[in-house]
Structure 1
């Protein structure tokens, strides 16, 4: 008579553990904030705000009048007029141009030599100096703007000199390079959103981190694992129930992030830079598909690492170090651009990164690439799950001291 309830209880162990952990952690404010607020919402909002601020500043510098101190403006009035026509406002000369740009008193300083007029009338080459600090990224737009105006004026005057001598301006340029940029407005968006895959991975990580800590190191510290393991239920079922709860929170966190990017992405003025950004349903569905095996992999790794800790605080330290791992593929692709090979899609994290970058470019991902990405990450996830199961079989796991 007692055999049937026991079998039913064992068959429902996974669901029981899963529902228990989900209900308990839905009441945990720290877990809810981490899973549904800090990572999923705060990240996209801050990301878009920073991009908007940066774009607006760069566009202002490219369109608004640009004040530039000019030393020796009286020696080249025509050049100064050309600069004015291009939106440059010549300012008062500074005594020390080097210090002016180093102290960020000016983005760029133009100095015209006193022999400019004499050399110009003789038809000799003349030189002007641009002082700037290339380490000041905020000044790059101003420097580029002034440089283009000066070089444009130089080309124009050079052509006029050739015409005055009865020569065609093309004589000075026997070879012309015709550039055929094949980048589409959508593919150019990759230059600005190269770190987007990292946001998705970190969202998954943050969504399940506190839950993973609480379900292993937390219960171990509260001495609640031992009575749980004392039940006549295989420990792998207990682990699977806990992993399912962690995956649920991580997936929910990812869905909120995808929704948040779809909404706030509409406020990015990408069209002003000749870019096109599509973070809608098609993009979100493919990202979710690519990320699902990664949800299981990260949940298993978090549970495994947290199981080595004897306290909640110690587990936080371990997982904070583990959080550095997801940034590696994004950092490698940012500093060492590589041409994607088929086998790379089978590498966990790297495959997701490459797939999302292709989606951003508008190229899409092929069935083969998706298959490799899912297969590679699932194999790694299964290995991590099996390793965690072995760890759960140890009696030391239930001991808090």
Structure 2
């Protein structure tokens, strides 16, 4: 173990002097994700909440044909704006979120007790308009129900006749489960942090040294190759682990700035969440470090290894893409699948679901078994004499 420790300390010491490695592993990788993620979520949520609290301004065409309707909408926070010449173009060009058009025969149909029609012009492909459209629809729906009830009362009929079935909605979503749905991409940031934390170190300790022709004199020493590999792997794992810890702490701190409470959500990223995330992620540190070293071992130059590992970076994203695209019911067997188990487990933590030590142990054990297999394969590759040759 003395040889492994010597290699480990040497690699850690040398890479701590490399500003590129330190900035990538201990700054950009672990902190950029939480900062960007929280900034985006904070901006989006704050903007939506501010729009929901403010009166909604909507251009109205033909407001003079339905003064009672406009007055009723005003009481709900509706602020009519001057009409636009081309409402369709205004919506497409995002000059207006939504336009209300009232036809000239609205009053005539109303007086005759017929159905009066209004038009809502909007573009559903514009994501920023969803809140405004929903608010206007709710306002119009409230006005329609009220006026419909008044018509029945005027004819001596009970408004209850128009409601043969009463729907009692009971949403089982909790404040924390709603937050888990919104922050479902967070597990991928943790995996990406591990990957970025060890990537440049894995490239430099294998393909980089191979390109500099420094592996050959290292392998010429009368020590087992697996000890050299274990020392290098340990150095990569330490950088990845530190990167992950910084990222988890970063999310815990930055998460306090997200206005989740104003959205009726609870986001718990405290110490308990951090400890369980670290337990589930520990095997992935060894697994990804071994994979990176294995892939970098087949590259003849630093740049070539960067290309290979950039492609490999897409692999951890697959479980996140799968779970976001398909409504999969969580089952116990998922925790036994590396990467998928971590994605499901962290998502359950965010949603406030049940995640016992059995599920955490399954994540840990399955990931560790696969990590050992990949590490043994990489150690076998390290025995090859071609690894030290850069041509």
Alignment of 1:345-356 (within 5 A): 345-356=335-346
Alignment of 1:9-158 (within 5 A): 11-158=1-148
Alignment of 1:187-266 (within 5 A): 187-266=177-256
Residue of structure 2 equivalent to 1:320:
310
| 2:279 is aligned with 1:279 | no
Q: C-alpha separation between the residues in 2 aligned to 1:170 and 1:201? A: 56
Gaps of 5+ in 2: none
Residue of structure 2 equivalent to 1:300:
290
| 2:259 is aligned with 1:269 | yes
Alpha-carbon RMSD across the aligned residues, in angstroms, is 1.0
Report the more deviating stretch, 240-249 or 91-100.
91-100
SS at structure 1 position matched to 2:175: coil
By how many angstroms is 1:237 displaced? 1.1
Q: C-alpha separation between the residues in 2 aligned to 1:367 and 1:65? A: 49
SS at structure 1 position matched to 2:57: strand
Residue of structure 2 equivalent to 1:367:
357
Partner deviation per Cα, 1:171-215 (whole Å, 9 max, x = no partner): 111112211111111111012101000110000000000000000
Q: C-alpha separation between the residues in 1 aligned to 2:158 and 2:328? A: 44
By how many angstroms is 1:65 displaced? 2.0
SS at structure 2 position matched to 1:90: strand
Alignment of 1:162-181 (within 5 A): 162-181=152-171
By how many angstroms is 1:111 displaced? 0.5
By how many angstroms is 1:55 displaced? 1.0
By how many angstroms is 1:357 displaced? 0.6
Q: Is the 8 A contact 2:276 2:360 kept in 1?
A: no
TM-score by length of 2: 0.98
| 2:321 is aligned with 1:331 | yes
Report the more deviating stretch, 311-320 or 77-86.
77-86
Report the more deviating stretch, 40-49 or 199-208.
40-49
SS at structure 1 position matched to 2:101: strand
Residue of structure 2 equivalent to 1:3:
none
Q: C-alpha separation between the residues in 2 aligned to 1:159 and 1:20? A: 82
TM-score by length of 1: 0.96
